[in-house]
Every structure is written in structure tokens, then in C-alpha cells.
């Protein structure tokens, strides 16, 4: 998945990425080893003006690793379930 992000950035498909607080930050913060702290990455995301776009991207692309939009994969799975429930109720 990380390669998809790099490819998208190379062709300018992710304009929101230009405004991300994580731009230029150490990628290891956002893709920590199992059991490592995610506090620093989530703190960077906390005040980011594009974290909603980042989260939407990760959910749409099915990102399974890393911190996206301030959420871990487990947290994103919960958001996906909640969105799916909302969509079913609307339909």
C-alpha cells in the first residue's frame, strides 16, 4: 500500500497531501513496529487540517498498516463498520 501512496504523490493525485502536517516527517512514526507507540504520529495528525481527507483515502484504499487520519487500522475498521451501518440505514 505504501507504494500506491508514493505513486499517487508522484502524479499529483493527492493534493490534500501537500497540506498534511506529516509532510516531511519520519515515515517510521506512522508505520511503527508492532507494539510500538503511535502517540507521536497521532499528535502530528491531531492538529492537521487534512486529516479527514487522509482518513477517507486510507479507508477507500483499504490501507491495512500505519496511522492515517490519526487512526490505526483497528480504529479505521471501526469507522468503516460505522459508515457501512449508516449507509444501510439511509438506503
Annotate 38-91 with three-state secondary structure. Answer: CHHHHHHHHCCCCHHHHHHHHHHHCCCCCCECCECHHHHHHHHHHHHHHHHHHC
Record the pTM.
0.79
Burial of 50 (0-12, 13-18, 19+ CB in 10 A): buried
Which range, of 4-8, 33-37, 71-75, averages the lowest pLDDT?
4-8
Digit-coded pLDDT (tens) for 37-84: 999 999 999 999 999 999 999 999 999 999 999 999 999 999 999 999
Number of domains in the chain: 1
Residue 6: the pLDDT is 59
Q: What is the pLDDT of residue 4?
A: 60
Domain residues for 35?
Answer: 2-90
Question: What is the spatial distance between Cα 20 and Cα 16, in angstroms, rounded to a whole number?
Answer: 7
Amino acid at each position: 500500500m505504501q507504494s500506491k501512496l508514493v505513486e499517487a504523490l508522484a502524479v499529483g493525485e493527492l493534493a490534500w497531501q501537500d497540506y498534511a502536517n506529516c509532510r516531511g516527517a519520519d515515515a517510521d512514526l506512522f508505520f511503527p513496529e508492532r507494539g510500538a507507540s503511535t502517540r507521536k504520529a497521532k499528535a502530528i495528525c491531531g492538529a492537521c487540517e487534512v486529516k479527514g481527507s487522509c482518513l477517507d483515502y486510507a479507508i477507500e484504499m483499504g490501507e491495512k498498516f500505519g496511522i492515517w487520519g490519526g487512526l490505526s487500522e483497528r480504529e479505521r475498521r471501526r469507522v468503516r463498520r460505522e459508515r457501512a451501518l449508516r449507509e444501510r440505514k439511509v438506503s
